[in-house]
Amino acid sequence: MNLVNKTNKCCGCVPLRGGVIFISIFSLVGLTYIVLSDVLSISIDDYGIGTVVDLVISVLFLPVIIFGLFVTCCERKAYLLRVFSILYNVFTVVEIIDSLISIIVIVAYRSPVVSDCYSSNPNVDCDYLYSKLEAQVIFVNVMIIFLMTHFALVIAAYAENRKAKEEKASANIASESNNPPVHKVLDDSSANETPIRSAPAKC
């Protein structure tokens, strides 16, 4: 909760609402690209279990991102933003787990893959090539974890910000209804006063 309260900008410079719109568009483009790429890979029978998992995750969360973009741009209601924040948190957890699995797999399979590589290609520096691939996979997945966590905090912070503004507006309306302005009270009291007629002068 403290991290949410401390988050007041996206990427350190973009206001929260603009940041949420950017996150939604960025995620929408990214998920659409992943879906199209995975469908293409499956159509030409060039895929593994990881491709299927990525496709399922992307298809499930694509409507969530579309919903978030609509809520942020059009509705801007605190409870809808809260729903989007919760769904995006689920998306973030799934992506973090997927990234951690990718890192574990690339590290765990180093020895057998390098050994097979040397057996098939003795003149190739398989250890160097795998180290390069390993570093790339780890870097990309660490960045995914960092960005997804930051994006989730930005969305949660914007939802809390909207909630606070709506509560403040409701409190102001309630306060005004319980304490009407002085000029309105005077006008109402003047309207209810019975006119005083002057008594006729006696001779």
Element housing 106 (H / E): helix 78-108
Sequence-separated (6 or more) residues with CB below 8 Å from residue 61: 31, 87, 91, 94
Mean pLDDT, residues 79-85 taken together: 93
Does the pLDDT of residue 182 top 60, yes or no? no
Six-digit token string for 28: 């929408």
What distance in Å separates the CA atoms of residue 198 and residue 200, rounded to the nearest whole number?
6
Nearest to 62 by CA among 94, 96, 100, 24: 24
pLDDT for the residue 35: 92
Query: What per-residue confidence (pLDDT) applies to 139?
Result: 97
Q: What's this model's pTM, rounded to 2 decimal places?
A: 0.78
Tokens 């660490």 found at? 142
Once rounded to an integer, what is the mean pLDDT over residues 179-183?
A: 58
Do 87 and 64 touch, CB atoms closer than 8 A? yes
Q: What share of the chain is helix, strand, coil (3-state, %, to 5)?
A: 80, 0, 15
Note the pLDDT tens digit of each residue in 94-149.
Answer: 999 999 999 999 999 888 888 888 888 888 888 888 899 999 999 999 999 999 99
Tokens of 92: 């973030």
Q: 10: which strand partners?
A: 14
How far CA 147 is from CA of 84, 85, 127, in Å, comes to 17, 15, 30
Mean pLDDT of the chain: 84
SS3 103: helix
* pLDDT confidence tier of residue 198, bands split at 50, 70 and 90: very low
What does the alpha-carbon distance between residue 185 and residue 151 come to, in Å, rounded to a whole number?
50
